[in-house]
Amino acid sequence: MPPQGEVQWLFFDPSVLLNENGTEQRWRRGVVQALQRRGRAVTLEQVERAWMQAISAPRPVQPLLGAVRHLAPEAPAEEVVAEVIATSGQQDMLVTGLQLALHELRQRFRLGVIGPYRPPGTRERLARFHLSFGLVALSDELALSHRLDAAGKVDPAIFTWALRKVNALPGQAAYASDRVSLGLAPAKMAGLTTIWLRTTNYRLRYPRNGYETPDLTFNSLPEMARALTRGPGLLRKG
């Protein structure tokens, strides 16, 4: 087994591989329609505002679920979310520069995907682009790191599961995510090196505690790939 301080595995949050803007826009329109079917008239602008409020909320929350709860607290939120995802379809694209960045990173690391607090369907969305990784661990499939408790506490279980699956120690893995609360925090709780990719609207939520504070920060995936392949010591611990 490699030394504890040498990072061998680099895991990604699916949201830094897929440009989900188109899909999330469809989901927001789906919220309007789903709530209208339940007698609650809301506008797309209201949904978009509630979505952004959920991202920046003090307690972590998935924005789709948070928007529904904010706009229609009496509605069965998880039922509405499932309906929206099932009826809205998806319109993902690959993040700009992804394929070259992955090619560069594969020269130094084994690559995997860990998706905590993800809605259903992520595996199919990755497969659509023929993206292949040594490990794909998704919360909705494993029922790990899938739900927040009553206090909004994040759960690192899916990261612990992934480390066991690839036979790696926490210090031998790093995790890149755009989400400090629902991505980096549980990864750091499990002992992984954390990398914040400030590439989506989630950059509006700044770290609020030690677990949410990343070890490294980059503004794009290609920038991260260049830094990690040309300066591998950035990920060395101990």
Q: Are residues 79 and 197 in the same domain?
A: no
Q: Are residues 56 and 164 in the same domain?
A: no
Q: Are residues 155 and 208 in the same domain?
A: yes
Q: Are residues 31 and 144 in the same domain?
A: no
In a domain, 1, yes or no: no
pLDDT band, very low/low/confident/very high, at 57 (cuts 50, 70, 90): confident
Report pTM. Answer: 0.91
Q: Are residues 75 and 177 in the same domain?
A: no
Dihedral over alpha carbons 80, 81, 83, 87 (to 10 degrees): 130
DSSP-derived 3-state class of residue 37: helix
Q: Are residues 160 and 187 in the same domain?
A: yes
Lowest mean pLDDT, pick from 28-32, 54-58, 94-98 = 54-58
Q: Are residues 111 and 199 in the same domain?
A: yes
pLDDT in tens, 86-136: 999 888 999 999 999 999 999 999 999 999 998 888 898 888 899 889 999
**Which structural domain range is residue 78 located in?**
21-88
In a domain, 4, yes or no: no
pLDDT at residue 206, rounded to an integer: 87
The secondary structure of residue 59, as a DSSP letter, is S
What letters, b where the CB count within 10 A reaches 16 and e where it falls short, cover 206-219?
A: ebeeebbbbbbbbe
Q: Are residues 13 and 28 in the same domain?
A: no
In a domain, 205, yes or no: yes
Among 65, 88, 111, give the residue marking a domain's end: 88
How many structural domains are present in the chain? 2
Q: CATH number of the domain that 114 lies in?
A: 3.40.50.1000
Burial degree of 220 (CB within 10 A; 0-12, 13-18, 19+): middle
In a domain, 3, yes or no: no
Q: Are residues 224 and 151 in the same domain?
A: yes
Among 45, 62, 88, give the residue marking a domain's end: 88
pLDDT band, very low/low/confident/very high, at 191 (cuts 50, 70, 90): very high
pLDDT band, very low/low/confident/very high, at 236 (cuts 50, 70, 90): low
Dihedral over alpha carbons 214, 215, 219, 220 (to 10 degrees): -110
Among 88, 111, 143, give the residue marking a domain's end: 88
In a domain, 2, yes or no: no
pLDDT at residue 1, rounded to an integer: 37
- Calpha distance 225→95 (Å, rounded): 13
